[in-house]
Amino acid sequence: MDVEEALEFVDHLALTTTGKHLDSLQKAILRGAWDNQKYKEIAQHHNRSEKYVKEVGFKLWKLLSVALEDEEVCKANIREKLQNWRFSNISCFGKDYIQIGSVSAETLHSLKISQPEPQDKDRFNEKTSNSEPEVHLDLADAPEPNLFYNRTSELTTLENWILGRTRLITILGLSGIGKTALTLQLISQIQHEFDYIIWRSLRNSPPLASLQTDLIKFCRGGVPVPAPSLSAPYPEERASTGGLPLLEYLRSHRCLIILDDVQTIFSSQQLAGNYQPGYENYGAFFKQLTESSHNSCLILLSWEKPREIAALEGENRPCKSLQLNGLGPEAQEIFREKGLAEPEKWSALIDLYRGNPLWLNIVATLIQDLFGGSVSEFLSYDTLFLGDLESLLHQHFDRLTASEQQAIAWLATTPESADISKIPENLQLSPPELLKVMQSLGRRSLVETVKQNGRSHFTIGPVIREYITNKK
């Protein structure tokens, strides 16, 4: 077996197991390991950080360990392992069928290995596969992908929206619910739909002009934007792009732009989705990108829904939003990974913490630290223990207006769900004010709507209830 045969074999194995071909970095790692190269050399040659290459390599060996039913596959022995397997176990090795020892293609597929898709973090221009068109990726601003469970239906919805040429997608949800993780997974699935993919976080609140310059620079292959084209567009640009130079690039290439942490450009102590002074032009930018004709897509990840989205979105419109809820039973994997005891109690824990993966991770660590992994001991306390969640929730509550705080405190004291047609006297809000406030709390994913006898009632989750009760 030479290195090319090994690559073909492992690629086939990866495809059968995960549904995805090896990407260029995984191939480079395999080639490097075959030639006894160090991770450092592979990283230098491939223009990546050594840490990242090691991580991708580690995941690849893990995948091969499961696929080859051999726990000890690693960089040092991969060549030997593959050569041994080639002679002793592979009964048929071709394009359509693979049988490795007792492990068939179907068995491998059913193993459902959770293999986070390695993302191109450091490279600017890269061919991601020999047969696929070139995709230019800049994910330097995105976090590393991590373990990822399920979200199949959300991924299908997002993929359909993208294939259906939706121009603006907003993914909404509380901190930790998994907006960033979901979008990283989405990119790995749809990257070949696009010529350019760029991820930017708005955590440092960049003014729109500098964000636009940055995005255009990327779409120009790293060539800086001539100053006049941004501040005073050339006449022909002005006519066709409505004063938005980026539009020219979104028309000539299919680009995917992801803006993360969008809530940072909204004001605190104002109703949800109100821009900070100086950032109002973002609203016009989102509107223009939705209404102008182009084949690109902008994805916003936010705690709060931008105000204009509500007016722009619709089933047959190119603007959609996805309210991200918690994970279902698949969240049990988080507890399995953390080594918690009593699996029969895990679903109660998932319900209480609304399937929020970050909250579940925090709580699982807490149960390990304080109760030696015993979920029933943790659940035996009358009050819900929040621990490190308090500071996370504080970031959300810090943003509320005084009226929102009043309304949510009322919901916290209402045991089941509240009927807003029956406003209590101590709540000094008129019916129209209360409606506005409830809408805003909904746009912040803090309030849930339930139907009772055909009427909408409002409620809050147990964690939020506990937080507000403790605050008093």
| 382: DSSP letter | S
Q: Quick one: 6 or 300, whose CB is closer to ligand ATP?
A: 300
Q: Which positions from 154 through 183 interact with Mg ion, judged by CB under 5 A?
A: 180
Tokens of 164: 């259906």
Q: Quick one: 135 or 262, whose CB is closer to Mg ion?
A: 262
Q: What is the CA radius of gyration of the chain?
A: 25
| Contact call for residue 176 and ligand ATP (CB under 6 A) | yes
Strand bridging mode 90-93 / 448-452: unpaired
Instruction: Output the DSSP codes for 187-233.
Output: HHHHGGG-SEEEEEE-TT---HHHHHHHHHHHHTTTPPPPHHHHHS-
Looking at residue 376, its amino acid is S
Give dist(CA 9, CA 1) in Å, integer.
10
Q: Quick one: 135 or 155, whose CB is closer to ligand ATP?
A: 155
Q: How many CB atoms lie within 10 A of CB 202?
A: 20
CB 363 within 8 A of CB 334: no
- In order of 349, 358, 362, 395, the CA distances from 392 in angstroms are 19, 10, 11, 6
Q: Quick one: 8 or 154, whose CB is closer to ligand ATP?
A: 154
Give dist(CA 37, CA 29) in Å, integer.
9
| Contact call for residue 118 and ligand ATP (CB under 6 A) | no
| Contact call for residue 357 and ligand ATP (CB under 6 A) | yes
Q: Which stretch binds ligand ATP (CB under 6 A): 14-22, 86-94, 145-153, 156-164?
A: 145-153
| Contact call for residue 276 and ligand ATP (CB under 6 A) | no
What three-state secondary structure class fits 403?
helix
Q: Quick one: 16 or 180, whose CB is closer to Mg ion?
A: 180
| Contact call for residue 146 and ligand ATP (CB under 6 A) | yes
Indicate which of ligand ATP, Mg ion, none lies near residue 283 (CB less than 5 to 8 Å, by partner kind).
none
Q: How far is CA 51 from the centre of its chain?
A: 22
> Shortest distance, CB of residue 301 to ligand ATP, whole angstroms?
6
Q: Which positions from 179 through 198 interact with ligand ATP, judged by CB under 6 A?
A: 179-181
Strand bridging mode 255-260 / 297-302: parallel
| Contact call for residue 147 and ligand ATP (CB under 6 A) | yes
Q: Quick one: 33 or 259, whose CB is closer to Mg ion?
A: 259
Looking at residue 110, its amino acid is S
Q: Which positions from 293 through 312 interact with ligand ATP, judged by CB under 6 A?
A: 303
Q: Nearest-CB residue to ligand ATP? A: 178
Q: Quick one: 335 or 458, whose CB is closer to ligand ATP?
A: 335
| Contact call for residue 356 and Mg ion (CB under 5 A) | no
Q: Which stretch binds ligand ATP (CB under 6 A): 26-34, 140-148, 217-225, 453-461?
A: 140-148
Q: Which stretch binds ligand ATP (CB under 6 A): 177-185, 264-272, 380-388, 434-442?
A: 177-185
> Shortest distance, CB of residue 174 to ligand ATP, whole angstroms?
7
Indicate which of ligand ATP, Mg ion, none lies near residue 400 (CB less than 5 to 8 Å, by partner kind).
none
Interface residue with ligand ATP among 75, 151, 320, 443 (CB under 6 A) is 151
Give dist(CA 139, CA 198) in Å, integer.
6
Those residues whose C-beta lies under 8 Å from the C-beta of residue 222, and which sit 6 or more positions away, are 124
> Shortest distance, CB of residue 267 to ligand ATP, whole angstroms?
18
Give dist(CA 203, CA 262) in Å, integer.
7
Strand bridging mode 90-93 / 98-100: antiparallel
Helix (H) or strand (E) segment spanning residue 363:
helix 357-371
What three-state secondary structure class fits 37?
coil
Interface residue with ligand ATP among 297, 358, 362, 468 (CB under 6 A) is 358
Indicate which of Mg ion, ligand ATP, none lies near residue 146 (CB less than 5 to 8 Å, by partner kind).
ligand ATP
Q: How many CB atoms lie within 10 A of CB 266?
A: 24
Task: Give the binding-site size for ligand ATP (rule: CB under 6 A).
Answer: 18
> Shortest distance, CB of residue 89 to ligand ATP, whole angstroms?
33
Q: Quick one: 146 or 240, whose CB is closer to ligand ATP?
A: 146
Q: Quick one: 334 or 375, whose CB is closer to ligand ATP?
A: 334
In sign, the C-alpha dihedral spanning 23, 223, 170, 297 is: negative
> Shortest distance, CB of residue 263 to Mg ion, whole angstroms?
10
Nearest one of 415, 358, 409, 427 to 387, comparing CA atoms:
358
> Shortest distance, CB of residue 377 to ligand ATP, whole angstroms?
25
CB 45 within 8 A of CB 28: yes
Q: Which residues of the chain form contacts with Mg ion (CB under 5 A)?
A: 180
- Per CB under 6 A, residues contacting ligand ATP are 146-151, 173, 175-181, 303, 327, 357-358
